[in-house]
């Protein structure tokens, strides 16, 4: 839901802390959330919550380190300027490529997840479609909104965000009441948990990604470091609470052994939501849950593709005329949609690769930039993240270890629950 940062850029809205916190929470909570119970099934609830806490802390710190660097520059300076001025041309290019890669692969992940959830919804109405076609419908409808204008995206996602909050609490509230504590605390299946942590780390990292919005917040609030700090803290904390509730709701209702089936079917969004739907008594609440999942993935799609659309228009120099926007739309949407048609079930794999690229620009580069900017501006009196160099080392290590886990998991060298 990165589009709310565009809202911040364009509209003279009241600059309350809440607005900034919602921008961050909106971007953070997205499709990554739907991967968490599936990849966390092996280690189950306790370790999953511990992992989320650790990742939340590291991702909060990397965002604050990015803020620290950003505050040395004029509001409006973006990643490109920050990397160029602190780390030089090499990192500027590595960073730019990794951002573009994340945006593209997330677009594909959303088409895959969106197709899966649209299909699940249509089945509820008695309509059968191949999942790839459902993905195509999902992509074409939402791409048209992006093609119309930024304003259209802003309006529609604001409505979607409201809808998400309402449907989340209605559906999850009920699931939270119905949970079976034994399922949560005494999981069935193979009694080995901790080794499955490693393969899940990249998914946790992707779920806490929001860093593209930090420069937007600086542009929005100016150099008001204390408000931006609070907005990032509160926004990511809201995401942490939502994820914890989501884990309680899913793992408290679906037994661990049943996750094997979900994983065997590809672990896509529709399969998970379908399994949850089966345990929900009321068909009305069931619709709320399905609606929530649709809104979550649709609003993330709009936010991310709007970012990609603007990025590509700038990169290729396409103008804002009807013809120019058409060209930008083609390079933005056609490649991920073709992938979505060819590989409709790559949702989890795509989120994993998004995490790999995000370790670069959302974790390692912000830490390195903060290290460098402390050398460049040694007498700076303003905002500085606590913890000195040890904290920077911790954040870099977190990024490197998580990236390595993704590669090892791809090579089948890490234990994976099945």
Ligand X SMILES: N[C@@H](Cc1ccccc1)C(=O)O
Please list, in sequence order, all residues whose beta carbon lies within 8 angstroms of the beta carbon of residue 291, skipping any fewer than 6 positions away: 163, 167
Closest distance of CB 209 from ligand X, Å? 2
Closest distance of CB 155 from ligand X, Å? 21
Closest distance of CB 111 from ligand X, Å? 13
Q: What is the DSSP string of 21-67?
A: HHHHHHHHSSTHHHHHHHHHTTTHHHHHHHHHHHHHHHHHHHHHHHH
Contact window for ligand X (CB under 6 A) among 77-85, 205-213, 266-274, 330-338: 205-213
CA distances from 101 to 97, 145, 314 (A): 6, 22, 16
Contact window for ligand X (CB under 6 A) among 57-65, 72-80, 202-210, 386-394: 202-210
Q: Which is nearer to ligand X, 184 or 405 (CB)?
A: 405
Residue from 83, 86, 121, 207 in contact with ligand X (CB under 6 A): 207
Q: Which is nearer to ligand X, 210 or 259 (CB)?
A: 210
Q: Which is nearer to ligand X, 101 or 383 (CB)?
A: 101
Q: Which is nearer to ligand X, 184 or 308 (CB)?
A: 308
Closest distance of CB 52 from ligand X, Å? 12
Closest distance of CB 281 from ligand X, Å? 29
Q: Closest Cα partner for 336 from 23, 11, 103, 72? A: 103
Q: Residues 54-59: contacts with CB within 8 Å, 24+ apart?
A: 55/201, 55/204, 55/205, 55/207, 55/208, 55/398, 56/208, 56/236, 56/237, 56/239, 56/240, 58/363, 58/394, 58/395, 58/398, 59/205, 59/208, 59/209, 59/210, 59/236, 59/362, 59/363
Q: Does 358 bind ligand X (CB under 6 A)?
A: yes
Q: Which is nearer to ligand X, 124 or 163 (CB)?
A: 163
Q: Closest Cα partner for 417 from 364, 369, 363, 348? A: 348
Interface characters, 19-38, with ligand X (x: CB under 6 A): --------xx-xxxx-----
Six-digit token string for 125: 């109405």
Q: Does 295 bind ligand X (CB under 6 A)?
A: no
Q: CA angle, corner 63, sides to 57 and 67, nearest 5?
A: 140
Q: What is the DSSP string of 375-405?
A: HHSTT--S---TTHHHHHHHHHHHHHHHHHH
Q: Is 10 exposed, middle or buried (0-12, 13-18, 19+ CB in 10 A)?
A: exposed
Closest distance of CB 287 from ligand X, Å? 23
Count of residues that interact with ligand X, criterion CB under 6 A: 17
Interface characters, 210-249, with ligand X (x: CB under 6 A): x-x-------------------------------------
Q: Which is nearer to ligand X, 22 or 102 (CB)?
A: 102
Q: Which is nearer to ligand X, 27 or 174 (CB)?
A: 27
Q: How many CB atoms lie within 10 A of CB 43?
A: 24
Contact window for ligand X (CB under 6 A) among 54-62, 317-325, 354-362, 397-405: 354-362
Interface characters, 300-319, with ligand X (x: CB under 6 A): x-------------------
Residues at the contact surface with ligand X, assessed by CB under 6 A: 27-28, 30-33, 102, 106, 206-207, 209-210, 212, 300, 354, 358, 362
């Amino acid at each position: 839901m990165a589009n709310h940062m565009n809202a911040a850029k364009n509209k003279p809205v009241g600059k309350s802390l809440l607005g900034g916190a919602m921008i961050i929470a909106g971007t953070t909570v997205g499709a990554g959330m739907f991967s968490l119970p599936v990849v966390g099934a092996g280690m189950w609830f306790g370790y999953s919550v511990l992992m989320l806490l650790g990742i939340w802390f590291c991702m909060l710190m990397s965002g604050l380190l990015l803020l620290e660097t950003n505050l040395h520059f004029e509001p409006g300076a973006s990643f490109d300027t920050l990397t160029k001025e602190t780390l030089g041309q090499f990192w500027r290019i590595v960073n730019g490529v990794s951002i573009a890669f994340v945006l593209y692969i997330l677009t594909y992940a959303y088409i895959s997840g969106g197709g899966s959830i649209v299909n699940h919804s249509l089945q509820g109405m008695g309509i059968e479609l191949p999942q790839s076609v459902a993905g195509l419908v999902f992509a074409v409808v939402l791409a048209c909104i992006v093609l119309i204008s930024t304003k259209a995206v802003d309006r529609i996602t604001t409505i979607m965000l409201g809808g998400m909050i309402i449907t989340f609490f209605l559906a999850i509230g009920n699931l939270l009441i119905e949970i079976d504590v034994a399922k949560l605390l005494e999981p069935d299946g193979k009694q080995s948990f901790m080794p499955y942590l490693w393969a899940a780390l990249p998914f946790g990292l992707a779920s806490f990604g929001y860093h593209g919005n930090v420069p937007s917040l600086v542009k929005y609030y100016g150099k008001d470091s204390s408000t931006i700090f609070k907005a990032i803290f509160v926004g990511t904390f809201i995401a942490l609470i939502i994820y914890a509730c989501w884990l309680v709701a899913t793992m408290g209702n679906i037994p661990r052994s049943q996750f094997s089936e979900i994983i065997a079917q590809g672990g896509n969004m529709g399969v998970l939501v379908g399994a949850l739907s089966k345990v929900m008594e009321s068909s009305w609440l069931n619709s709320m849950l399905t609606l929530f999942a649709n809104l979550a993935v649709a609003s993330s799609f709009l936010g991310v593709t709007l970012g990609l659309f603007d990025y590509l228009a700038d990169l290729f120099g396409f103008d804002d005329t009807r013809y120019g926007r058409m060209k930008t739309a083609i390079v933005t949407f056609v490649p991920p949609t073709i992938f979505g048609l060819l590989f409709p079930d790559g949702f989890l794999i795509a989120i994993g690769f998004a995490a790999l690229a995000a370790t670069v620009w959302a974790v390692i580069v912000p830490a390195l930039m903060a290290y460098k900017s402390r050398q460049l501006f040694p007498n700076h009196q303003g905002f500085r993240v606590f913890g000195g160099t040890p904290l920077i080392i911790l954040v870099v290590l977190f990024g490197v270890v998580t990236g390595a886990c993704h590669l090892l998991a791809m090579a089948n060298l890490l234990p994976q629950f099945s």
